[in-house]
Every structure is written in C-alpha cells, then in structure tokens.
C-alpha cells in the first residue's frame, strides 16, 4: 500500500533528478504541464466513493459504499478511497484536501487559465464534505471507514465490495489529535477557496474547522487508530501548528497567531513533508515534475496516461478489474485475484494516477503485486498538483505560455495492447 511511503516521493524528485540533464528554463521543457495538471486533477474522480454525480468523467467507476456509517446511524457516504484499496482513511484524506486547497489559493489564476479551477474545486469539496459529515459532534470525528486488514485480503471493485465497513473514531476517551487537527486545517483552507464562490458553504467549513481545532487541542493524544496503515511518527504538534496557521489565514484572528507564536518551540527543521509531518509545510515546496513525467533513467512517465510509456499494472482494485459498465456481474473477493495475478495491463487506465515510484536504483518493474512502487495515493497527486501548477506559473511568466490547453483524452480508455 502506498501509505508505507513516509515521504511524498514526488516532492523529493528534484533530488533524484539532480544527475539528469535538463534545461533550466521551464519553457524549454518538452512536457505539457497543462496536460499534466488536467490529468493529475482528473485522478481524484477515479478515487471517489459514494453516489457519483452526473458529470462524472471517469466512466469506468460506479456508485459504491452507499451505506457507509449505517452501523452507527451516521452518514459517512462519500469522500475518497486513499489509494488502490477500498478503505476511506480520514487523515490522508484531510491532508489531500489541505494541499489541493493551498494550490487553488496560490495558483488560482494559472489553474483558471487552463480551465481546471472548477474541477479542482470539485475535488476539494468532495473531500471536505466528507470531513464535515465525519465530525458528528463537538467531541467526535470518524477517522476511518472499512477494515483495512479484511479489505486487503480481497481484490474486488469498490462497486462490489462486501468486506466489513467498520467505523473508527476519535473521542475524548480514544484520542487522535493528528487527524482532528489535520481536518481542521483542511476545512479552514477549503473555506478560503469557497469564500467568494459560495459564502454559506465557506462559513460552514470554517465553523466546523474551529470546532475540530478546539477538539484536537483540548483532548491531546497521539493517534494510533489507523495503524499499521497510517501511524503517527512525528507526534501531533505539527498538525496543531498547521491547523492554527490555516485558521489564522482564514480568519485573521489574533488568537490563532498567538497560539502559533506561543508554541513555536514545537517547530523544527525537517527534510520531508508528508501526510504525517507538516513542519515543512510553511517552507517553500517546489519539486521538479519533469522527473515524474519522463526525464528519468527509465525514460517513462510515472503518471498513468501521460506520454507514450507509463505504468500499465497499477496496484489498484478498480482499475485492474473490468469496469462494472462492461462486466455487470459481481466479481467477488477471491475471484478478483485472477485479475490481480494477470500479467496483462489493467483494463481501465486510471488517468493521472502517480505511482509510488522507482526503487533506490531508479528502476521500476511495473508489477501490480509490487504495491510499494505501483500503488497511487490521493496525497501524492495532491502534492504533484501544487508542483506542476507552480511550474505552469513559471512557464506563463517566462517567454510566453508554452503548454497548450488540451482536451482530456481517453478517460474511459480500454487497453488493447502493450507499448
């Protein structure tokens, strides 16, 4: 599972690519950054859980998990599957929303120029809506839907899944400051995105964010509820500072700045920025995306559907099994393993998915079973969206716009042959 990646490898790609010669000017790049941005955002539609909207572009997906939360009479339908499995983890979903919101705020003009702002806002609200629903009381936050161990014993489409939709939550008696504070950060950031678009919705997001921050700070305790999939290694102080920073940006209220200043001793210099560690979040983050898009020793794109050579055996249940649109009959828990073990390309191309990446020797095997390298994750794509938007901005500020706005190609493409 991609969650074993403690560091978002796409943010470290600039270090890996140091030995790869390329032009320093963005406009001399051979990569179409606007296309990469389109596809990176499109990926989130393939990760949707719940009732899909009429304007859904990823046609090989269908409605799924429509009874989530029913076990405890709460509505937890919606949100994102974090990676290639069918579990919804609130913590990585929250950092995904925070990162996407950050990009929408800082690169709104550039993203609008390639007609992607609406799609980006849809991705943000899809995750934000779930986080609001998950905060069912001032002292409760649901942090996971689905039994990770049971889910990982099955290989089935989300539309077919029949594994337990076990619910996990944090309360004063079962604490989890990290996911609660991260959710607060996410909703604060999202509230700014929608402030001028939908003031009432923005106010709802901000109100929920305030409640979550108060809950996270008052009932401090490190979160272990999603271990071994998402464990806290850096503690909860970074999430609290991160949330206070976003609340200050959203409100301008002195109490949040005072909180940051009075707890500045928590901060520290770090070399990573991940779903677990945000100390680097206030530092400038600009990764070189050319490595991911193909300027690497393998001469391949690590974004599915970008370029002529990209991963074909993505570790992803929905993408690796024939779509419910083309194979309506249920494919059960064990039956799905015939597709998992297949040497053929995935029948559904999950456009925009960025895989875990190559090994330490810059080699990529493209094996569905090699989950640590072939599985995508929402927070990887969220970080990439920011990186490519920054490069698109640099392109537009240079000698003119190099990349052209292209229509998304093959969003429901069926693979017929191997490159």
Active site residues: 315, 366, 375
What are the strands of the beta sheet with 88-89, ordered from one edge? 88-89, 141-145, 167-170
CA distances from 10 to 274, 288, 291, 376 (A): 11, 8, 9, 11
Half-sphere exposure of 101 (CA within 13 A, CB side): 30
Distances (CA, A) of 189 to 91, 182, 297, 349: 15, 11, 37, 31
Which residue has tokens 């200043």? 261
Measured CA to CA, the distance from residue 394 to residue 31 in angstroms comes to 14
Q: For helices 199-218 and 117-134, give the axis angle rounded to 10 degrees.
A: 50
d(CA 86, CA 9): 23
Helix axes 378-397, 33-46, angle to 10 degrees: 160
Residue 58: Cβ-neighbour burial (10 angstroms; 0-12, 13-18, 19+)? buried
Helices 117-134 and 177-193: crossing angle, nearest 10°? 140
Sign, CA torsion 270/271/275/281: positive
């Amino acid at each position: 599972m991609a969650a074993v990646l403690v560091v978002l490898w796409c943010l470290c790609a600039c270090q890996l690519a140091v030995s790869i010669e390329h032009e320093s000017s963005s406009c001399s790049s051979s990569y179409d950054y606007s296309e990469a941005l389109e596809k990176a955002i499109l990926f989130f539609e393939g990760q949707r859980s719940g009732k899909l909207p009429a304007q859904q572009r990823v046609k090989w997906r269908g409605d799924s998990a429509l009874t989530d939360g029913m076990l405890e009479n709460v509505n937890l339908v919606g949100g994102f599957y974090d990676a290639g499995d069918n579990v919804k983890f609130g913590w990585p979903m929250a950092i995904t929303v925070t990162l996407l919101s950050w990009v929408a705020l800082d690169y709104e003009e550039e993203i609008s120029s390639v007609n992607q702002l609406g799609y980006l806002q849809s991705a943000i609200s899809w995750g934000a809506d779930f986080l609001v629903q998950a905060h069912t009381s001032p002292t409760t936050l649901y942090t996971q839907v689905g039994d990770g161990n049971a889910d990982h014993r099955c290989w089935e489409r989300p539309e077919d899944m029949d594994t337990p939709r076990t619910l996990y939550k944090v309360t004063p008696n079962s604490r989890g400051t990290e996911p609660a504070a991260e959710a607060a950060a996410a909703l604060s950031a999202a509230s700014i995105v929608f402030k001028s678009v939908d003031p009432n919705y923005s106010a709802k997001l901000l109100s929920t964010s305030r409640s979550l921050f108060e809950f996270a700070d008052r009932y401090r305790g490190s979160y272990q509820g999603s271990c071994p999939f998402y464990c806290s290694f850096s503690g909860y102080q970074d999430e609290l500072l991160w949330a206070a920073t976003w609340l200050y940006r959203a409100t301008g209220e002195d109490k949040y700045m005072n909180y940051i200043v009075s707890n500045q001793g928590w901060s520290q210099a770090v070399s990573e920025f991940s779903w677990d560690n945000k100390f680097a979040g206030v530092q400038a983050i600009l990764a070189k995306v050319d490595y991911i898009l193909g300027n690497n020793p393998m001469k391949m794109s690590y974004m599915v559907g970008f370029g002529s050579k990209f991963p074909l055996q993505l570790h992803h249940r929905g993408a690796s099994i024939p779509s419910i649109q083309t194979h309506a009959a249920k494919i059960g828990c064990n039956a799905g393993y015939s597709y998992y073990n297949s040497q053929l390309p995935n029948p559904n191309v999950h456009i925009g998915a960025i895989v875990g990446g190559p090994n330490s020797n810059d080699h990529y095997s493209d094996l569905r079973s090699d989950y640590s390298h072939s599985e995508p994750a929402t927070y990887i794509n969220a970080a990439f969206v920011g990186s490519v938007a920054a490069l698109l901005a640099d392109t537009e500020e240079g000698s003119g716009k190099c990349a052209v706005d292209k229509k998304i190609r093959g969003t429901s493409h069926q693979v017929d042959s191997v490159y």
